[in-house]
């Protein structure tokens, strides 16, 4: 290889936004750039933009250009970027339903540039309808063991590797006990001795925030409305979900039983939040990975999760448990014209309330012991250094094997045949 940097064109959530996909995109790009071997051009998608001028980060300058983009891009925008910048790899991430337009131009993209897909998928049954999409990539990285099993069975001929999300252990770490006490006293004041349950998700239907509030009321009815707080780090009036403030008023929980943290938090402040609560909960019907609960464990705080998607590999390593994992009580099927069917794993009210009670009845020392075991689990299996090392190996091998532009191992899935 020469000393020329590998140029990667990325399509994903805007890497400077706090979504799980955006955060992991930023982690990957920053980690690669710090090796000194890469350059990145990113379409920053998903969010609405006030300013469409290209963005340069202070640390990386010309080596990382972010272009604000509506949606995730268009065929013409991708085509223009490919021919003007001639990247070595096209890398993209999130749910397959967003990438039909990109796979439609597979022939012209892969003729010059290998396509690498970081795949997010929530659940079984096997989505055979995605096979043509999977086959349209040179390589698929899988976000969870569920996703890896799906790709292995649906598209066995496509190169793949299991690369779960990671967290930066220099940020998401257990804080010293006296500091935690002071932070808790300062932030919760007269509520500092209550049991504090934390929910960090977007207020979207599948995240089940409204059901959590409803079931939290049942929990309070059992232990007392002055004994616990549900702290929700979310937008209670997100257009993607229900009006949580109206629900709280309807349920009579407007006296501080449910609190909202609305503002975007710096990673260090979010890590402090995980440290000062007693437990983090995620009861989503479907979850590709669930970054918030991994961050919680990394900070030494135990979790309550639905045993679905990537959540189930966080709460246990098969031997030890780092919180409470709830088996779904039933399944429902949702879908659309693009996604004919996908299962959602539904929890029962009874199991969620029982889990809250179980965690509430543990001593602070017992909860901390669970959380600290979880921290060791994260350090072993989801640490940032291994994450970056693995992605560096993947990108390097793909670049060496597949080439790009002048050196590309041309992909051509059609042949000419003489017909009578």
Over residues 62-119, the pLDDT tens digits come to 999 999 888 888 999 999 999 999 999 999 998 888 899 999 999 999 999 999 999 9
In eight-state DSSP terms, residue 242 is -
pLDDT at 27: 92
pLDDT at 420: 60
pLDDT at 70: 86
- The pair of structure tokens assigned to 182 is 């002071």
pLDDT at 322: 97
pLDDT at 1: 40
pTM above 0.75? yes
- Please give the C-alpha separations between residue 369 and each of 50, 163, 270, in angstroms, as whole numbers: 46, 28, 21
Question: Considering the domain 177-381, what is its CATH architecture?
Answer: 3-Layer(aba) Sandwich (3.40)
Which residues does the chain have with pLDDT short of 50?
1
Same fold, 6-166+383-407 and 177-381: yes
Is the CB of residue 322 less than 8 Å from the CB of residue 297? yes
pLDDT at 206: 87
- The pair of structure tokens assigned to 110 is 């892969």
Name the residue among 184, 136, 185 with its Cα closest to residue 157. 136
Name the residue among 297, 300, 299 with its Cα closest to residue 315. 297
pLDDT at 347: 96
Query: Which DSSP helix (H) or strand (E) runs through 180?
Result: helix 177-188
In the chain, where are the structural domains located?
Answer: 6-166+383-407, 177-381
Fold of the 6-166+383-407 domain: Rossmann fold (3.40.50)
pLDDT at 412: 58
């Amino acid at each position: 290889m020469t000393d020329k940097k590998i140029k990667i064109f990325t399509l994903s959530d805007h890497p400077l936004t706090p979504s799980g996909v955006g955060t992991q995109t930023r982690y990957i790009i920053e980690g690669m750039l710090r090796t000194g071997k890469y350059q990145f051009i990113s379409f920053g998608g998903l969010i609405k933009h006030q300013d469409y001028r290209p963005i340069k980060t202070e640390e990386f300058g010309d080596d990382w250009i972010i272009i604000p983009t509506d949606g995730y891009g268009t065929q013409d925008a991708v085509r223009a970027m490919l021919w003007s910048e001639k990247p070595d790899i096209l890398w993209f991430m999130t749910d397959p339903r967003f990438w039909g337009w990109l796979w439609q131009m597979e022939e012209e993209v892969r003729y010059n540039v290998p396509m690498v897909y970081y795949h997010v998928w929530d659940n079984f049954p096997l989505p055979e309808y995605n096979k043509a999409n999977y086959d349209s990539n040179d390589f698929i990285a899988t976000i969870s063991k569920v996703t890896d099993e799906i790709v292995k069975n649906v598209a066995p001929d496509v190169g793949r590797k299991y690369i779960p999300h990671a967290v930066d252990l220099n940020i998401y770490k257990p804080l010293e006990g006296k500091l935690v006490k002071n932070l808790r006293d300062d932030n919760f004041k007269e509520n500092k001795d209550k049991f504090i349950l934390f929910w960090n998700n977007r207020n979207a239907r599948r995240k089940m925030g409204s059901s959590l509030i409803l079931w939290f009321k049942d929990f309070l009815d059992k232990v007392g409305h002055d004994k616990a707080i549900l702290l929700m780090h979310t937008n209670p009036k997100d257009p993607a979900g229900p009006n949580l403030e109206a629900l709280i008023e309807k349920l009579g929980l407007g006296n501080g039983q449910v609190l909202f943290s609305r503002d975007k938090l710096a990673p260090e402040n979010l890590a402090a939040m995980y440290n000062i609560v007693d437990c983090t909960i995620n009861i989503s019907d479907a979850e590709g990975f669930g970054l918030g609960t991994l961050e919680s464990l990394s900070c030494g705080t135990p979790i309550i999760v639905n045993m679905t998607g990537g959540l189930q590999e966080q709460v246990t390593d098969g031997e030890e448990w780092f919180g409470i994992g709830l088996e779904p009580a039933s399944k429902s099927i949702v879908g659309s014209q693009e996604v004919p069917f996908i299962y959602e794993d539904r929890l029962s009210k009874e199991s969620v309330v029982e889990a809250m009670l179980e965690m509430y009845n543990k001593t602070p020392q017992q909860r901390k012991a669970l959380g600290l075991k979880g921290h060791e689990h994260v350090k072993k299996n989801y640490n940032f250094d291994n994450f970056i090392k693995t992605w560096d190996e993947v990108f390097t091998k793909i670049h060496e094997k597949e080439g790009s532009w002048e050196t590309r191992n041309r992909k051509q899935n059609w042949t000419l045949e003489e017909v009578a």
